[in-house]
Structure 1
Amino acid sequence: MEFNSTILSNVEMSPNYWRIRLTAPAAFAAATPGQFVMVRVGGSIDPLLRRPFAVYDVGSTTKADGTTTVHFEMLYKVVGKGTTLLSRLHGGDSVDILGPLGQGFVFGDDDEEKLLVGGGIGLAPLYLLARELVKRNSPVRLFAGGRSRNDLLCLDEFERLGVDCHTATEDGSHGATGFVTVALNQHLDALAGKKATLYACGPDPMLRAVAKIAADRALPCQVSLEAAMACGVGACLGCVTPGKNHSAHTPDYRCVCAEGPVFESSELKWGASA
């Protein structure tokens, strides 16, 4: 869907990290965890391209007259012109939205433990996933990491879902000191071979580390990739990533926006360049 959306709120929740709530058509309520939207953040040709943002949450409000309105939320980090413009918008302003788009997470067996791993803005697509998994009565744990406590977003909301949260920061300002993958490995050791599925979103080095952990332990792992996108629907092929069979002689590319952004980690070739 392409629609004009009204901003309901747009607040800075941590230095350079923002949370925005917007109106949406009723059909948007069917958005699934891991999907994203493409946002046109300005009324001019600069910036020319839309910006992709993960859907953090979807909700609805029923008014006194019985009518129901749908809204959704995104988390974003101010890093360039597009996100700077977005941070300057206020309630009542409007933006053009294309979405929901992409392939989301697959839930797997309800009785196995679900281990969610996120860093910084990579936590954004994991909240809707956690909420759905909790509804399915799956045991859910979140492993959240960042450079400092400023990169650990919305932990209280995960905890209110009943998610057990483990945190680590590189500067030691919150949780363990170091990378959150250390805590993930320690927990997997304690599971002693029990079934678990990993879900991860964040910077590429973290995703590579989580994918290796999953491969070494023969565990299923789904990763949500962050990529610069031009169209969001697979038409331009500007956001491809190497697949597992990729080589100089046999190219194997996966389109992040149309085939992803969520992939089985074993379907990708880690460390290769597109």
Structure 2
Amino acid sequence: MQFKATIISNQEVSPGYFRMRITAHPELTGAQPGQFVMVRVRDAIDPLLRRPFGIFDVGTVPSEYPGCSSATYLEMLYKVVGKGTETLSTYHHGDHVDIIAPLGTGFDLGDPEEEKILVGGGVGIAPLYYLAKTLVGRSRVRFFLGGRTRDDILCVTEFERLGVETYVSTDDGTLGDRGLVTDVMERHVREDGRKKTIYACGPMPMLKAVAGIARQTGTSCQVSLEAYMACGMGACLGCVVKGRDHGDETPDYRCVCKDGPVFAFDQLMWV
């Protein structure tokens, strides 16, 4: 769907990180955790291309608009890294953006009896909150959040309010455990023989480490990739990654936007 959205709020939650809530089409409540949206930041040619953002949350709130008892909202979590996100960070309540959503393939929720391990790095937690919100109540969920410093640790309270066991680590030790989030997560994955599924989103080195742990421990694992995109629909081929088809070492290229952004870890080549 393509629709015009009104910004409800655009809050800086940590230096350089923003959480934006916008009005959304009612059918977006059926979006899968892990899917994403393409946002046209301005009605101008600069910046020309839409920007992709993972769906942080979808829900309904009492409507402030005449004739509507409730309104559907969508939330995005983003970091200011360039012209598009810098422009987005200047928007306020009542401003408008153009949205195409929902796009891509989301997470497979798997067996409710399995423990769910969520691993996020920095703004990579964006699709994991909506996933956690969907999983809680049907499975045990533990969330491992890492960042370089305490400023990169986002929305911990929101996950804890869902009832999710949350573990924090930072590279410099300014918050939580000191060290890599994958090291903390690995200890918990190996702590007992219970069947688990790992869901991860974040920087590629983190995802590569998570995939290695999943392979060594025989744990089911899904990863959500971040990529530069021009269209979000598989037409431009600007977001391809090397895939693996049935164990063949010959690369089988996949579009992150259309074939993903969520992949089983063994569908990708990590070299």
Taking structure 1 as the reference length, the TM-score comes to 0.95
Write the mapping of 1:1-274 to structure 2, written as runs, cut at 5 A. Answer: 1-63=1-63, 67-136=69-138, 138-191=139-192, 193-245=193-245, 250-271=250-271
1: CA distance between counterparts of 2:71 and 2:161? Answer: 24
8 Å CA contact retained: 2:6, 2:93: yes
SS in 2 for 1:84: helix
The Cα RMSD (Å) is 1.8
2: CA distance between counterparts of 1:34 and 1:170? Answer: 26
Per-residue deviation at 1:91? 0.7
8 Å CA contact retained: 2:244, 2:250: no
Residues 45-87 of structure 1: per-residue CA shift (max 9 Å, x gap): 1111100000100110245976221001000000000000000
8 Å CA contact retained: 1:245, 1:269: no
Gaps of 5+ in 1: none
1: CA distance between counterparts of 2:253 and 2:195? Answer: 30
1: CA distance between counterparts of 2:252 and 2:246? Answer: 4
Residues 75-106 of structure 1: per-residue CA shift (max 9 Å, x gap): 00000000000001111010000111110000
2: CA distance between counterparts of 1:18 and 1:61? Answer: 20
Taking structure 2 as the reference length, the TM-score comes to 0.96
Per-residue deviation at 1:251? 4.1
2: CA distance between counterparts of 1:220 and 1:254? Answer: 20
2: CA distance between counterparts of 1:80 and 1:26? Answer: 31
2: CA distance between counterparts of 1:63 and 1:18? Answer: 23
Q: Percent identity?
A: 58
Q: 1:139 to 1:246 in 2, by over 3 A?
A: closer
**Partner amino acid for 2:92?**
H
Per-residue deviation at 1:43? 1.8
8 Å CA contact retained: 2:10, 2:93: yes
**Which structure 1 residue ranges, 4+ long, deviate > 4 Å from structure 2?**
63-66
2: CA distance between counterparts of 1:7 and 1:246? Answer: 45
Gaps of 5+ in 2: none
2: CA distance between counterparts of 1:240 and 1:143? Answer: 28
**Partner amino acid for 1:98?**
I
2: CA distance between counterparts of 1:217 and 1:251? Answer: 25
**Partner amino acid for 1:238?**
G
